[in-house]
Amino acid sequence: MSELVLRAEKLDAADELAPLRSRFVLDDVVYLDGNSLGALPANVPGRVEDVVRRQWGELRIRSWDESGWWTAPERIGDRIAPLVGAAPGQIVVGDSTSVNVFKALVAAVRMAGEERDEILVDATTFPTDGYIAESAARLTGRRLRALDPAEVPSALGDRTAAVLLNHVDYRGGRLHDLPALTAAIHAAGALAVWDLCHSAGALPVGLDEHGVDLAVGCTYKYLNGGPGSPAYLYVRRDLQGRFDSPLPGWNSHAEPFGMSPSYAPAPGALRGRVGTPDILSMLALEAALDVWDDVSVSSVRAKSLALTDFFLECVTAYTEPGRVVCVTPEPHGERGSQIALRCPDAGEVMKRLIARGVVGDFRHPDILRFGFTPLYVSFADAERAARVLGEVLG
Amino acid sequence: MSELVLRAEKLDAADELAPLRSRFVLDDVVYLDGNSLGALPANVPGRVEDVVRRQWGELRIRSWDESGWWTAPERIGDRIAPLVGAAPGQIVVGDSTSVNVFKALVAAVRMAGEERDEILVDATTFPTDGYIAESAARLTGRRLRALDPAEVPSALGDRTAAVLLNHVDYRGGRLHDLPALTAAIHAAGALAVWDLCHSAGALPVGLDEHGVDLAVGCTYKYLNGGPGSPAYLYVRRDLQGRFDSPLPGWNSHAEPFGMSPSYAPAPGALRGRVGTPDILSMLALEAALDVWDDVSVSSVRAKSLALTDFFLECVTAYTEPGRVVCVTPEPHGERGSQIALRCPDAGEVMKRLIARGVVGDFRHPDILRFGFTPLYVSFADAERAARVLGEVLG
C-alpha cells in the first residue's frame, strides 16, 4: 500500500468532520462536483415528503400560515446568515442568483446616486453576472467596465457607482481578497456587491465584519439545497432603508395582503422579496441547512485547505510532470475549495474519470474542475481521485 | 332532502369530468380555494420522491442531462401550451409571475420602439402587476397610466407602447374580453401583454388565435403545480427574434456552456429563461400537468360555468336577500371561474365557513371569494358551500 494511501487513512482518522459524511446520501463514487450540485442530505427526502403530502396535500392553503410558508424566505435567510458572517435580518432567500444580481446591482447603483455613472464587473466572473450587469447598466443609464479583479483598485474613482465581484472564481478557483477590495471600493465612495456562489459554505466570508454592502449567492453548491434551489440576497442592515428594488413584487410590500394599488416597501430584508416563493425547493433547502447546526465554517475551511493540499500532493505524485497544470493558486489565502487543472484533452479525460467513478466536471475549453466539499469528501477520496486521474492520463 | 340537493346529485351523475376528482388528494372539505392554491394531484408525491431520492440523490449532477433537468423549462412550457391555446415552442417555465411580468413588459416596450413612451396597466389588477409595471416604466423611461380595462380602448394612441391586462380579475372574477382588447391594442400599434393567472386551466385563452404578443401566468392555481410553483412566459413565435430580455441570464444564452463573456441570446422561447431552474418545484409541476392529458379546456369551461351558475342559484335560495351581493358578472362571457360575494363582515364570515369545512378566501376589505376548479369540485360541493354560507350568515 502506498505511503499516500496510509497518509489518507491517518488524515481521515484524525478528521473531526468525518462523521458528517453520514448526513448525506452517498455511494462509492468519489463526488468532487459538490461545487456544482451538492449531494443529497439524508434528512431532505422525508422533509420534502411531509411538505408535499401533509402541508400541501392536507393543509393546503392553510400552510401559508400554519406551516410557515409565508415567512420561509427570511427564516431560511437567517439560517444562511451565520455561514456567511451576517447577523440575522439581512438575508432573504428566493429567485435565482441571476435575478438577485440584478436586484443587488440596480439597487446599489441607485444608492450611489446619479453622479456616479460607472459599474465595474469582474471580467473573469461566471458569465451570467456580466450579462446581468450589462442589463443593469443599460437600464440605469450607466457605463459598464469589465476588468480583472486585480485591476479594480486602480480603476476606482469618483465615477464608480458599484463593483460586482465573485468571491471565488468559478473556473480557476481563485479566492479574491474580499476585505481589501471592499475597503478599496468604499474608499472610492462606491458600493461593493459580492457573489458568494463558490465561497458560501466552503470558507468564512465575514459579510458584516468587512462591511460588504450587498451580496448574492446560490444554495445548491456547498449549501446542498438541491438542483436549482433558490438563491439569496444580503442587504446590509443600514442600507436596507435605501434599498430601492427594480423588482418590487407584492411579496416585498409593507402590507402584502392590503392589496394596495400603490407600492410601499416592507422594512428590512423583506424588501428583497419579489413574488410567491417556490415552497418545495425552499423547504428542501431549509432541511439541507440542518446539516450545519453543529458545524463551524472555520473547521470546514481548515479541512478544505488540507484536502486540496493533499490532492495536489497526490496529483504531483501520480501524474507525469507537465501533463496537467494547476491553475488554482497555491497560497491558501488565494484558494477557494476547488482545484482546477489544465490539460489539453480535459473533456475526454473527465469522461474517463467519471466512467471510473471519479466525478468532477469539465469547463470549456481545457479545465478539469474538482470541488472539495469538506462535509462529505474524505482524504481517501482525494487520494483515489488523484490516483485514478494518473491512471486515466496514462 | 331539498330540491337543490337532488339537483346537485343529478348534475354530478351527468358530469363527465366527475371521475377526475380521484386524480387529486382530497378529503371531505369543500375546497373552493383552488384559485389560490390548487389541490395536490395524486401522482405528484411519488414523482417528487423520485426526483429527490434517485435523480438528485443517486444520479446527482448527471441528472442535468440524463433526467432532463436542463430542458425542463421549455418541455414543461410545451405541456402548458395547449391549455392556453399556444402552439409548441413559445412558452418557458421559470421564475415567479412578478419576474415574468417584468421580462414581458420591458421586452414589449423595447419592441414598440423609442417613440412610444406610455405603458397602460389595468388599475384593478393584482397589485404586483402594477408595481412591476411601474418599475418597468421607470427603468425604460416610459410613463405609466393605470386605468380600468374598459377605458383602455379610448386611452390607446400613438404613444402607447404596451398594455398589461389581467384576463380574469383576481378579486371580483370579471373575465375581460381578450380578443377585442388585443385587437384594439394592435390597431393602435401597441403590444398586448396578458396575465393569465386566473384564467389558465379554467377557460380557453386562445393566445395564438387572438394574436396575443406576450403573456405570463402562474401555475399553482388551476394548474395545481404546488405552492409557489414556477410561472411561465409566452412570447409569440414571430416576436421571439426581437425579444430583448432585461434579465439575460446564462440560461438564455445561445451557448450556455460556452461560458462566453459576451451575451448572445438563444433562439426561440429559451430566450425567456434566466438562471438555473428550480428543479424540485418544476418537476412537481410537470407531474401535476399529467392530470390534463385527456381533458379538454372547453369541457372544463362548460362545467365551470354550470358550477358557478348553480352556486349562485343556491346562494340565492339559502341566503336572506341583500345579505351578500355578488360582484362577479352574471353574463357567462364576463365571468371567470370564481364567485366573489360582498358582505360587510366577510373576514369573520370566512373564518366561520372554514371552521365548518368550506374553504374559500377573504379579500380585503369585504369580499368572500370562492374558486371553482372543475377538475375536482362537484355540484354537491357547490350546494353544500352555499347551504353552509346561508347558515353561517344566519
Q: Is B128 annotated as a binding residue?
A: yes
What pLDDT score was predicted for residue A127? 86
Residue A346 has a pLDDT of: 97
**pLDDT, tens digit (0-9, with 9 covering 90-100), for B269-327:** 999 999 999 999 999 999 999 999 999 999 999 999 999 999 999 999 999 999 999 99
The residues pairing with A120 across neighbouring beta strands, listed in sequence order, are A145, A163
Burial bucket for residue A133 (CB in 10 Å: 0-12, 13-18, 19+): buried
Choosing from A369, A370, A372, A376, which is the catalytic residue?
Answer: A369
Size of interface A-B (CB pairs under 8 A): 252
Give the nearest chain B residue to A57 (CA atoms): B40
Q: How many CA atoms lie within 13 A of A85 on its CB side?
A: 20
CA distances, B299 to each of A28, B36, B203, B380 (Å): 52, 21, 9, 18
Quote the CA–CA distance of B35 and A268 in Å, as a whole number.
Answer: 30
B249: which chain A residues are within 8 Å (Cβ-Cβ)?
96, 98-99, 128, 131-132
- Whether chain B has a CB inside 8 Å of the CB on A247: the answer is yes
B308 is in an annotated binding site: no
- pLDDT value of residue A1: 62
- B171 in contact with A at a CB cutoff of 8 Å? yes
Instruction: Let me know the angle formed at the C-alpha of A126 by A122 and A129, rounded to the nearest 5 degrees.
Output: 65
Which pLDDT score is estimated for B74? 98
pLDDT at B10: 98
Residue of B nearest to A278 (CA): B228
Is the CB of A63 less than 8 angstroms away from the CB of B146?
Answer: no
3-state DSSP of A253-308: ECCHHHCCCCCCECCHHHHHCCCCCCHHHHHHHHHHHHHHCCCCHHHHHHHHHHHH
Question: Quick one: what percent of chain B has pLDDT higher than 70?
Answer: 100
Q: Which helix (H) or strand (E) holds B216?
A: strand B214-217
Does A45 sit within 8 Å of B131, measured CB to CB?
Answer: no
**CB of A49 within 8 Å of any CB in chain B?**
yes
Say whether residue A98 is in contact with chain B using an 8 A CB cutoff: yes
Residues of chain B above pLDDT 90, percent: 96
Check residue B125 and give its pLDDT. Answer: 78
User: Which amino acid does the sequence have at B132?
Assistant: I
Q: How far is CA B378 from the centre of its chain?
A: 21
Q: Cα angle at B76 between B73 and B81, to 5 degrees?
A: 115
Q: Is B195 annotated as catalytic?
A: yes
Cβ(A150)–Cβ(A167) under 8 Å?
no
Count of other CB atoms within 10 angstroms of residue A146:
18
The verdict on whether residue B126 carries a ligand-binding annotation is yes
A282 in contact with chain B, both atoms CB, cutoff 8 A: yes
Per-residue model confidence (pLDDT) at position B394: 83
| In the predicted structure, residue B258 carries a pLDDT above the cut 90 | no
Q: Do B48 and A44 touch (CB under 8 A)?
A: no
Contact B33 A60 (CB under 8 A): yes
Q: How far apart are CA A326 and CA A173, in angstroms?
A: 10
User: B159, B221, B271, B303: which one is catalytic?
Assistant: B221
How do the pLDDT tens digits run along chain A, 394 residues long? 689 999 999 999 999 999 999 999 999 999 999 999 999 999 999 999 999 999 999 999 999 999 999 999 999 999 999 999 999 999 999 999 999 999 999 999 999 999 999 999 998 878 899 999 999 999 999 999 999 999 999 999 999 999 999 999 999 999 999 999 999 999 999 999 999 999 999 999 999 999 999 999 999 999 999 999 999 999 999 999 999 999 999 999 999 988 888 999 999 999 999 999 999 999 999 999 999 999 999 999 999 999 999 999 999 999 999 999 999 999 999 999 999 999 999 999 999 999 999 999 999 899 999 999 999 999 999 999 999 999 999 8
Cα gap B69→B56, rounded to integer Å = 10
Is B220 a known active-site residue? Answer: yes
Collapse the DSSP code of A358 into the 3-class scheme (helix H, G, I; strand E, B; otherwise coil) and give the result. strand
A234 is catalytic: no
Task: Supply angle C-alpha B363, B369, B375, rounded to 5.
Answer: 135
Q: What is the pLDDT of residues B106-164, one digit of tens each?
A: 999 999 999 999 999 998 878 899 999 999 999 999 999 999 999 999 999 999 999 99
> Measured between alpha carbons, how far is residue B262 from residues A127, B250, B257, B306 in Å?
8, 10, 13, 55
A167 known ligand binder: no
Would the annotation count A195 as a binding residue?
yes
The domains of chain A, with CATH numbers, are: 3-31+296-393 (3.90.1150.10), 49-292 (3.40.640.10)
Q: Between chains, do B96 and A97 touch, taking CB under 8 Å as contact?
A: no
**Min CA distance, B328 vs chain A (Å)?**
18
- B195 labelled as ligand-binding? yes
Active site residue B369: yes
Catalytic residue among A24, A31, A102, A126: A126
Is B226 an interface residue toward A (CB < 8 Å)? yes
pLDDT in tens, B207-243: 999 999 999 999 999 999 999 999 999 999 999 999 9
Q: What is the pLDDT of residue B1?
A: 62
The answer to whether A254 contacts chain B (CB < 8 Å) is no
Q: Which three cell numbers stand for residue B4?
A: 337543490
Cα–Cα dist A350/A341, whole Å: 11
- Sequence-distant (≥ 6) Cβ neighbours of residue A13 within 8 angstroms: none
Q: Position A148: which residue type? A: D
Shortest CB distance from B99 goes to which of A44, A58, A247? A247
Q: Is B159 a catalytic residue?
A: no
| pLDDT (tens digit per residue) in B80-114 | 999 999 999 999 999 999 999 999 999 999 999 99
Measured CA to CA, the distance from residue B331 to residue B174 in angstroms comes to 10
**Cell (9 digits) for B204:** 380557453
Mean pLDDT of chain B: 97
Biggest distance spanned by C-alpha atoms of chain A: 73
Give A280's contacts in chain B (Cβ within 8 Å): 48, 226-229, 280-281, 284
Question: Which positions in chain A touch B230 (Cβ < 8 Å)?
Answer: 278
